[in-house]
Amino acid sequence: MAWVNLKELAELGMPRAFVSKIATSLVEAGIINSKEGKGGGYALNYDPGEILIKEALEAVEGEVETAACGTCPVSGGCGQQGFMDRLTGDINGVLESYTLADLLK
């Protein structure tokens, strides 16, 4: 298991606090593991080919939805609801069809 520390991740150009927040969410979801101390950091819990992009995204951002129709003030729905439902389904389908390994190619 290869461990990468927070400083190394932050050197990719993202603010350290932002990287820390993402890492915490991924640890809580069980996608990565964390180890404190010398030689510690973060490591994947699974092979990259087993980690769906949808799982990682939802661990950080929550459920993928294009619209929250339940909170819309238009009563009884509207013509956009079917479109938005299909769009959400299509987006989720794409996210479920790619793994971390696909993005590392």
66 Cβ contact list (under 8 Å, min separation 6):
84, 87, 88, 91
Tell me the per-residue pLDDT of 50-96, one tens digit each, with 9 for 90 and over: 999 999 999 999 998 887 776 777 766 688 888 888 999 999 999 99
> What pLDDT is recorded for position 85?
86
State residue 25's pLDDT score.
97
Greater confidence, 40 or 29? 29
- In this prediction, residues 100-104 reach a mean pLDDT of 96
Q: Is residue 95 helix, strand or coil? A: helix
Give pLDDT, residue 75.
67
> Hey, what CATH topology would domain 6-103 get?
Arc Repressor Mutant, subunit A (1.10.10)
Domain ranges of the chain: 6-103
